[in-house]
């Protein structure tokens, strides 16, 4: 399989300098290795995605000199694939359960006095306390309009460890095999959501399925997603998917050291374009 990277923005706002750094780095790595660079539009959340933001993504990337080697993949066109995998985990593996808890419910459950312990945080924030685990029988038709969680303890039963290869910043810039004990993952990750009440699927589920179908060999993304990679390696193991190599790069931050977000319109690529900046200027600003 040829070396393949990707850039996967969500059309929920303008691309900023952090996006430019990630896209340029993934594009540069693909070209340096005589590989392929692919684009994916992560529009699974139809309540926030907008066509005008998608058009601006294309404009910004083309202006930066980034080209992609196939038609962009859109998550909104991949819903049947997400449902198939959810059905497999529900019917064949018996690893999912419906959850009615709101964020406030979870916060309330975790704020109850527990001697000598503080609420634990994982890649998705507060680690779910398992309130709905065991409340319903995991048979019958796939529940609709329900949040669906992965029973992490059952999912890891019989698995000694989860491993992936890291080539980016958290590993000190060198290739390194990252290994996590399966028994520890239940405590540090918890029962993650794999499908949401308001839209089918979740980031964790869609990203592993989409990386597999696009043949991504090397995932290039921010170091803020390093902790989530263990979740993705678990899902790849459960769904018999290949595990790519991962390069988690440094984050582009503002003057106060805060990570850039889509609300930082002052650092939007379109703003720099309108002010007369060049693609070379953007490269210098992000340290390329």
Sorted by sequence, the CB contacts under 8 Å of residue 243 that are 6+ apart come out as: 163, 164, 165, 232, 233, 236, 237
Sorted by sequence, the CB contacts under 8 Å of residue 147 that are 6+ apart come out as: 98, 99, 100, 101, 193, 195, 196, 197
Encode the chain (288 residues) as per-residue pLDDT tens digits.
799 999 999 999 999 999 999 999 999 999 999 999 999 999 998 888 999 999 999 999 999 999 999 999 999 999 999 999 999 999 999 999 999 998 888 888 887 655 446 668 888 888 998 899 988 888 888 988 889 999 999 998 878 788 899 987 654 455 667 766 667 777 888 999 999 988 889 999 999 999 999 999 999 999 999 989 999 999 999 999 999 999 999 998 766 656 666 555 658 999 999 999 999 999 999 998
- Domain holding 40, by residue range, is 1-77+253-288
Q: Say if residue 135 is in the same domain as residue 43.
A: no
User: What are the counts of helices (DSSP H) followed by strands (DSSP E) for the chain?
Assistant: 10, 12
Report the alpha-carbon distance of residue 150 to residue 128 in Å, rounded: 11
Query: What backbone torsions phi and psi does residue 211 show, to the nearest 5 degrees?
Result: -60, -40
Kindly state whether residue 247 falls inside one of the protein's structural domains: no
Sheet holding 245-249, edge to edge: 176-181, 161-166, 245-249, 218-222
Q: Say if residue 223 is in the same domain as residue 92.
A: yes
Domain of 227, CATH number, reads: 3.40.50.620
Q: Say if residue 257 is in the same domain as residue 143.
A: no
Cα 231 from chain centroid (whole Å): 10
Q: Say if residue 123 is in the same domain as residue 181.
A: yes
Q: How many residues does the chain have?
A: 288
Contact indicator for 188, 207 with CB cutoff of 8 Å: no
Contact indicator for 48, 80 with CB cutoff of 8 Å: no
Q: Say if residue 219 is in the same domain as residue 180.
A: yes
Report the alpha-carbon distance of residue 167 to residue 158 in Å, rounded: 28
Q: Say if residue 140 is in the same domain as residue 29.
A: no
116 class by beta-carbon count within 10 Å (0-12 exposed, 13-18 middle, 19+ buried): exposed
Q: Say if residue 55 is in the same domain as residue 176.
A: no
Q: Say if residue 140 is in the same domain as residue 179.
A: yes
Q: Say if residue 84 is in the same domain as residue 70.
A: no
Nearest in space to 42 (alpha carbons), one of 25, 64, 22, 65? 22
> What pLDDT, on a 0 to 100 scale, did the predictor assign at position 121?
85
Kindly state whether residue 10 falls inside one of the protein's structural domains: yes
Q: Say if residue 8 is in the same domain as residue 87.
A: no
| The two three-digit tokens of residue 216, written as one number | 């991504």
Report the alpha-carbon distance of residue 75 to residue 280 in Å, rounded: 31
Kindly state whether residue 248 falls inside one of the protein's structural domains: no
Report the alpha-carbon distance of residue 154 to residue 159 in Å, rounded: 10
Kindly state whether residue 181 falls inside one of the protein's structural domains: yes
Kindly state whether residue 13 falls inside one of the protein's structural domains: yes
> What pLDDT, on a 0 to 100 scale, did the predictor assign at position 184?
76
| CA atoms in the 13 A half-sphere facing the CB of 76 | 13
Q: How many domains does the chain have?
A: 2
Q: Say if residue 161 is in the same domain as residue 115.
A: yes
Q: Say if residue 3 is in the same domain as residue 132.
A: no
């Amino acid at each position: 399989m040829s070396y393949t990277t990707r850039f996967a923005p969500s059309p929920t706002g303008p691309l900023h300098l952090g996006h430019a750094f990630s896209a340029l780095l993934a594009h540069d790595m693909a070209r340096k290795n005589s590989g392929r660079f692919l684009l994916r539009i992560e529009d699974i959340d139809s309540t926030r995605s907008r066509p005008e933001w998608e058009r601006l993504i294309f404009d910004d990337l083309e202006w930066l000199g980034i080209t992609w080697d196939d038609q962009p993949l859109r998550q909104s066109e991949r819903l049947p694939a997400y449902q198939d995998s959810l059905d497999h985990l529900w019917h064949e593996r018996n690893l999912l359960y419906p959850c009615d808890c709101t964020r406030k419910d979870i916060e309330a459950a975790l704020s109850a006095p527990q001697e000598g312990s503080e609420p634990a945080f994982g890649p998705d924030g507060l680690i779910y306390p398992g309130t709905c685990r065991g409340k319903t029988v995991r048979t019958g038709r796939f529940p609709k309009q329900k949040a669906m969680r992965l029973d992490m303890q059952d999912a890891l039963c019989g698995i000694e460890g989860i491993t992936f290869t890291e080539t980016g910043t958290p590993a000190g810039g060198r290739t390194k095999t990252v290994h996590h004990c399966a028994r520890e993952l239940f405590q540090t990750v918890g029962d993650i959501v794999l499908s949401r009440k308001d839209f089918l699927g979740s980031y964790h589920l869609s990203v592993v399925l989409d990386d597999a179908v696009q043949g991504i060999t090397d995932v290039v993304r921010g170091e803020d997603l390093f902790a989530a990679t263990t979740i993705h390696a678990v899902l790849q193991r459960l769904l018999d998917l290949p595990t790519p190599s991962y390069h988690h790069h440094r984050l582009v931050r503002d003057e106060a050291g805060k990570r850039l977000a889509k609300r930082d319109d002052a650092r939007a690529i379109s703003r720099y374009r309108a002010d007369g900046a060049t693609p070379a200027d953007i490269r210098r600003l992000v340290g390329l």
